[in-house]
Structure 1
Amino acid sequence: MKKTILITGASRGFGRIWAEAFLKRGDNVIATARNIESLNDLVNSYGSSILPLQLDVTNRTQSFEVINKAHQHFGQLDVVINNAGYGLFGTIEEASEQEARDQFEANVFGTLWVSQAAIPLMRTQGNGHIIQVSSVLGIAAIPNLGLYNASKWAVEAISESMAAEIKGFGIHTTLVEPIGYSTDWAGPSAVHSTTIPAYDELRAVVYEQLQNMPFGNPDATAEAILKVVDAENPPLRIFLGKTALPWVNQVYSDRLAQWGQWNDVSVAAHG
């Protein structure tokens, strides 16, 4: 059955790949971006099946206007994919106040505003699916990406609570958690804080580890997203990438071990 799907940040990366995958199979796509001229080729190829709309997700009023316009245009809104966002590279000490606020405005509040705008429409419909693009770094943090990690941890918490709140209205929630992919996320899309020399050695180690990662092919994610959207009972969480689960298994094993080692102290603190 044809679906109507809204994707934020559809001009490049995952958003662009997924938008085209949905269009190719005959779905309606509302593709949002700050610069919709970047979507002209998709409009030329798919005509009335795509509705390009300009959207800055940090603008709450505009987010509601765009969601409502999309719903009115196609008469239905089956899926919303919150994909817009970016990475801030820098240690906690290095991040400026504005950089920290901007990171949360885009990754957290942008996701929140679009979700808040979509829920009433889906609640009235009695169905819908909100897909939040999180990250494996929303589960396990690494150095030099602390503010990005924190923004995705916030998205995880908001979405887990939201899932329990809206499932009774027939609305599904899915957190998509990619590991490293060969997109421009770490390139032109990224923001870098002004560096402090004291962290140069740590930064070099982190960058070397990232460079040695087996990055995934972003085009290969399209089939996974199609399966998630088509699932009768979609998962609350799904990793993208083959190295995500082994890494998170180790992270959680280490956490459980440490909690266990300190459990006597924890129990005594109960009183």
Structure 2
Amino acid sequence: MSKVWLVTGCSRGLGRSLAEAILAQGHRLVATARTPSQLEDLAERYGDQVRLVALDVTDFEAATRSIEIARESFGRLDVLVNNAGFGDISSIEDTGLEEFRAQIDTNLFGVIHLTKAAVPLMREQGSGHIIQLSSIGGRIGPPGRGAYAAAKWGVEGFSEVLAKEVGPLGIKVTIVEPGAFRTDFVASSTIRPSRPEYASTVGVLADHVRSLHGTQAGNPARAASVILQIADLAEPPLRLLLGSDAVQAAEKSDQARIGSDRKWRELSLSTDFQAPSTPYTVPWERP
């Protein structure tokens, strides 16, 4: 069945691949970009099946307007994909506060803006699916990615809370965590100089990113196909890793975290007034 999608950051990379896949499968699309003229070929090929919208995701009023365009053009919104983002590389010490704010405004507040604008419409419909493009950097903390990881970890926490709140309203949430994909993401991001003391950490990552560009294992067309698949599922995953590098990094990180928690378990438990007599249950889940 044809769905109405809205995807941010459609001008390049995974967003562009996803926009093309959505339209090729006969769905309707609100395709957004800072410069929508870069998407004119989609309008030429697909006509009224697509609406091109200028959108800076850091502008909440513009985000709200893009959701209204989906309603006005197609009568509803079935899938929102928060894809727009960028990630510079530098040590935390050498990243200016304005650079921090720029990454967090786009990568985190951009997601918050579009999500808050879309939820009322989806709540009224009693259905919808919000797909957040996070990153393996939202699961682990790579050196040199302090601002980007801060934003993506924020997306993960925000989206997990969102899923619990809107699930009973018929709205699904999926956090997609890609590894390195063969797009121009690296070229569009900036590797900023870091002082020599960070050569063995930030410098190593920066060199790796430079050497990897153009040879990444991730195929954006296959990622787009997977996103279309999960949008059709009655019970989609809350989190979905994309790419072998993301799977391996997440497994290693999760195992290390579990090991650390076990190592320090007794110290953690020692802070209670007394040993708990009953297993802990979260208050929002029924026994």
Tell me the TM-score normalized by structure 1: 0.95
- Per-residue deviation, residues 49-79 of structure 1 (Å, max 9, x unmatched): 0100000000011111111122111111110
Secondary structure at the counterpart of residue 243 of structure 1: helix
Q: 1: CA distance between counterparts of 2:205 and 2:264? A: 29
For structure 2, list consecutive stretches of 5 or more residues without a partner in the other structure.
274-287
Query: What residue is the counterpart of 2:34 in the other structure?
Result: 34
The correspondence of residues 50-129 of structure 1 with structure 2, limited to 5 A, is 50-129=50-129
**Alpha-carbon displacement from aligned partner over 1:22-48 (angstroms, at most 9, x marks no partner):** 101111010000000000111111111
Report the Cα distance in structure 2 between the residues aligned to 1:88 and 1:179, rounded to whole angstroms.
16
User: How many pairs are equivalent?
Assistant: 270
Query: Does 217-226 or 80-89 show the bigger shift?
Result: 217-226
Amino acid at match of 2:149: N
1:11 aligns with 2:47: no
Shift of 1:202: 2.8
Report the alpha carbon displacement of residue 203 of structure 1 after superposing the two structures with TM: 3.1
2:253 aligns to what? 251
- Secondary structure of 2:154's counterpart equals helix
- Contact 1:31–1:53 (Cα < 8 Å) also in 2: yes
Report matched runs for 1:126-205 at 5 Å: 126-187=126-187, 189-205=188-204
Structure 2 counterpart of 1:231: 233
Counterparts of 2:251 and 2:200 in 1: how far apart (Å)? 28
Does the 8 Å contact 1:82/1:114 carry over to 2? yes
SS at match of 2:107: helix
Instruction: Give how far 1:195 is off.
Output: 2.6
Give CA deviations for 1:79-100 in whole Å, capped at 9, x if unaligned.
0000011102111101101000
State the identity %: 39
| C-alpha distance in 1 between matches for 2:115 and 2:192 | 29
The CA distance in 2 between the partners of 1:171 and 1:92, in whole Å, is 37
- Whole-angstrom distance in 1 between the partners of 2:110 and 2:190: 17
2-side partners of 1:104 and 1:119: how far apart?
Answer: 21
Q: Does the 8 A contact of 2:218 with 2:243 survive in 1?
A: yes
Counterpart residue number, 1:219: 221
Work out whether residues 95 and 194 of structure 1, in 8 Å CA contact, stay in contact via their aligned partners in 2.
no
Contact kept, 8 Å, 1:103 with 1:151, in 2: the verdict is yes
Unaligned runs of 5+ in 1: none
1:131-177 Cα distance to aligned partner (Å, 9 max, x none): 00001110111101111111100000000000010011111000011
SS at match of 1:203: helix
